[in-house]
Amino acid sequence: MCGIIGYAGHRPAVPVVVEGLRRLEYRGYDSAGTAFVRQGDLRVVRAKGKLAALEEKLAGEPVVTATCAMGHTRWATHGVPAERNAHPHLSNDGTLALVHNGIIENYQEIKEDLTARGYVFHSETDTEVLVNLIAERRKSEKDLRGAFAAALREAKGAYAVCLMCNDEPETVYAARMSAPLIFGLGTGENFVASDIPAFLPYTRQVVFLEDGEIVCATATNYETLRLEDLRPTTHVPQTILWDMQAAQKGGYRHFMLKEIFEQPRVITDGLTGRVNGDGDGALLPELDSLPVPERLHIVACGTSWHSGLWGRHLLEHWAHIPVQVEIASEFRYRESLLLRKDDMVLVISQSGETADTLAALRIAREQGATVLGLCNVVGSSIAREASSALYTQAGPEISVASTKAMCSQMLMLALMALYWSGRKDAGDASDTQTKDQRRYLIGLLESLPALLEAHLPGMHENARRLARKYADARNFFYLGRGHCFPLALEGALKLKELSYIHAEGYAAGEMKHGPIALIDSAFPTFALALDDALFPKAKSNIVEVQARQGKVIALANEGLDLAVDDHWVIPRLPAPLSAFAALPALQLFSYEMADYLGKDVDQPRNLAKSVTVE
């Protein structure tokens, strides 16, 4: 949700921290701040708005001598975006500064107690409460680490925090509980951050901190400890293999555009090592020791939920596994949930840190279910807590709007359907695909990168033209049927989150049950009408919209008998794999619309890349 970086080293620390924050800005960007010690004084500089505002403020500060600092880029949870609510927050005595990602659920209770003891609060944040609680515990604990741990043990909720103290100007303290925090080990310098790109130019050696762990770091030393009793923990550092190039714009105007255009590569990478030598089976060794599920529950949020909805069609059709798909925030509070023996739960999350999805995973595990985690971010909480983790290998996705992640999730879902189909086939099940059918489907998957590579530039042109034509629309319907319904949901989500145009994704057959009342000449429809068994039905729904003077863009294949305002032809593929061709068209339309309307494409208002709070 928010971005944190802490640095202890030999370089001027504030520029390192600001540069790290820039690479974390996708996590939140309504205010930013930094803390460092100068001549024994803990100095905090904060600004409302994007990082540039903080940089402007820092221009007037002599910061070069500090070699230890921390920073924060915020996505508001408590209190409006304002300088007083920006992090770091200082304790009343000015000796401690804290940055925080997450929510302290019992902060009101703690605040009342501290207020009674004479503490005063200048912000509406839970973070200011926590830093004062640490200050209070310093009075009874023998050292700062003891006070830090004592305060955190009292805090309920989710957090990743970083702490600095004016008495120890060369040390950063940090801790995590249900929010991401990674430690980076450099040479003569150490880092802690919410995400690896923050420090990747300096080190590839990382430790994924566990929930309930504290790290204390100076330039040349670090210790990890259990929050519970301050006993030391041990870790073997891991090496990050991807580089900054993968997390930079590479000549594209926005990360989102770059990530849309990366989809052919994402498919190639996703297939690498995942197809057997005969080309008729998927290799997913992560699943080899697990039974083929009798039923599968897919749980996810946002775009990942849409991938799950789409994947259901393949899992049911190709592998004959009954699938339920649910939004994680609903799943986690559904009291009557009864998982049956042999049921399996698949949680899907690009970031692997989404709070609701993580909570759903934990509930499913508590109920004894086998939980598979399909994630993009290696070492993320979901990947680590799942019974088995599968990685989408899409590389870092920086744009807040998810694009290539969905493509990679769809590919993995297709591979899972093929894999379980193969297992059932080997066990003589008759209700699944044959070897020949799997060979054909795998061949289609393998053809996707070249097909998309060839068509993406033309799709981009169409998207640009249509976005300009429809830029004055204030509402949009996205309609689809069958496997195109999740795509309609995704198209609408992309349009609303990027361009702030109201858009609804609907199952086309539901229109006549109410929503069609909204249609008039100013309310256009984006219809998915691909060449599959449901095309005649989709066409009827389009005609119904047109009968109410609604304008229609139809994403369709060549040669289909359709009379619409804009017939957008995409390459023909058999359903449901045609989704791989439709998805980039939907993404590009929203991208172009937002860019044309002058919106902040990579960092839309009110959003954050990784939603680590409820």
- Ranked by CB distance to ligand M6R, the top (closest) residue is 302
Compose the 388-427 pattern: x for residues touching ligand M6R by CB under 6 A, - for all others.
Answer: ------------xxx-------------------------
Q: Which of residues 224-253 bind ligand M6R (CB under 6 A)?
A: none
CA dist 523 and 549 (Å) reads 9
Q: With contact defined as beta carbons under 8 Å apart, do 480 and 488 qualify?
A: yes
To ligand M6R, the closest distance from the beta carbon of 410 in angstroms equals: 13
Q: Among residues 25, 136, 497, 595, which is the contact residue for ligand M6R, using CB under 6 A?
A: 497
Q: Among residues 135, 542, 611, 613, which is the contact residue for ligand M6R, using CB under 6 A?
A: 611
Compose the 137-176 pattern: x for residues touching ligand M6R by CB under 6 A, - for all others.
Answer: ----------------------------------------
To ligand M6R, the closest distance from the beta carbon of 302 in angstroms equals: 2
Rule CB under 6 A: say whether 463 interacts with ligand M6R.
no
To ligand M6R, the closest distance from the beta carbon of 401 in angstroms equals: 4
To ligand M6R, the closest distance from the beta carbon of 587 in angstroms equals: 9
CA dist 233 and 274 (Å) reads 36
Task: Look at residues 125, 61, 56 and name the one whose alpha carbon lies nearest to residue 87.
Answer: 125
102, β-bridge pairs: 159
Rule CB under 6 A: say whether 361 interacts with ligand M6R.
no
Rule CB under 6 A: say whether 351 interacts with ligand M6R.
yes
CA dist 49 and 17 (Å) reads 17
609 is known as an active-site residue: yes
The two structure tokens encoding residue 203: 């080190």
- Please tell me which residue in 404, 424, 494, 609 is annotated as part of the active site: 609
CA dist 605 and 602 (Å) reads 10
Contacts (Cβ under 8 Å, ≥6 apart) of 568? 462, 466, 553, 554, 555, 556, 585
Q: Among residues 70, 151, 301, 363, which is the contact residue for ligand M6R, using CB under 6 A?
A: 301
Rule CB under 6 A: say whether 594 interacts with ligand M6R.
no
C-alpha distances in Å from residue 136, one per residue of 91, 527, 546: 9, 60, 67
Residue with Cβ nearer ligand M6R (302 or 505): 302
Number of residues that bind ligand M6R (CB under 6 A): 17
CA dist 492 and 502 (Å) reads 8
To ligand M6R, the closest distance from the beta carbon of 101 in angstroms equals: 15
To ligand M6R, the closest distance from the beta carbon of 128 in angstroms equals: 27
Rule CB under 6 A: say whether 16 interacts with ligand M6R.
no
DSSP symbol at 209: P
Task: Look at residues 154, 132, 172, 130 and name the one whose alpha carbon lies nearest to residue 36.
Answer: 172
Rule CB under 6 A: say whether 370 interacts with ligand M6R.
no
Nearest 5°: the CA angle 212, 375, 161 is 30
CA dist 130 and 207 (Å) reads 25
Rule CB under 6 A: say whether 190 interacts with ligand M6R.
no
Strands 157-165 and 96-104: antiparallel
Rule CB under 6 A: say whether 302 interacts with ligand M6R.
yes
Residue with Cβ nearer ligand M6R (224 or 304): 304
End-to-end, the C-alpha distance of the chain in Å comes to 10
Q: Among residues 303, 421, 462, 612, which is the contact residue for ligand M6R, using CB under 6 A?
A: 303
Residue 352 Cα to chain centre, angstroms: 7
DSSP symbol at 338: -
413 phi-psi bin (left φ>0, alpha ψ -120 to 50, beta other): alpha
Compose the 251-290 pattern: x for residues touching ligand M6R by CB under 6 A, - for all others.
Answer: ----------------------------------------
112 phi-psi bin (left φ>0, alpha ψ -120 to 50, beta other): alpha
- Maximum CA pair distance of the chain? 79
To ligand M6R, the closest distance from the beta carbon of 504 in angstroms equals: 15
Residue with Cβ nearer ligand M6R (182 or 216): 182
To ligand M6R, the closest distance from the beta carbon of 179 in angstroms equals: 13
Q: Among residues 67, 127, 349, 525, which is the contact residue for ligand M6R, using CB under 6 A?
A: 349
Rule CB under 6 A: say whether 357 interacts with ligand M6R.
yes
Q: What are phi and psi of 476, to 5 degrees?
A: -150, 140
554, β-bridge pairs: 527, 567
Q: Which span (90-98, 101-109, 343-351, 453-461) binds ligand M6R, by CB under 6 A?
A: 343-351
Q: With contact defined as beta carbons under 8 Å apart, do 254 and 595 qualify?
A: yes
Residue with Cβ nearer ligand M6R (298 or 400): 400
Q: Is the dihedral of CA 363, 369, 373, 378 positive or negative?
A: positive
> Would you name the residues annotated as active-site residues?
2, 609
Binding-site ranges for ligand M6R (CB under 6 A): 301-304, 349-351, 354, 357, 400-402, 493, 497, 607, 610-611
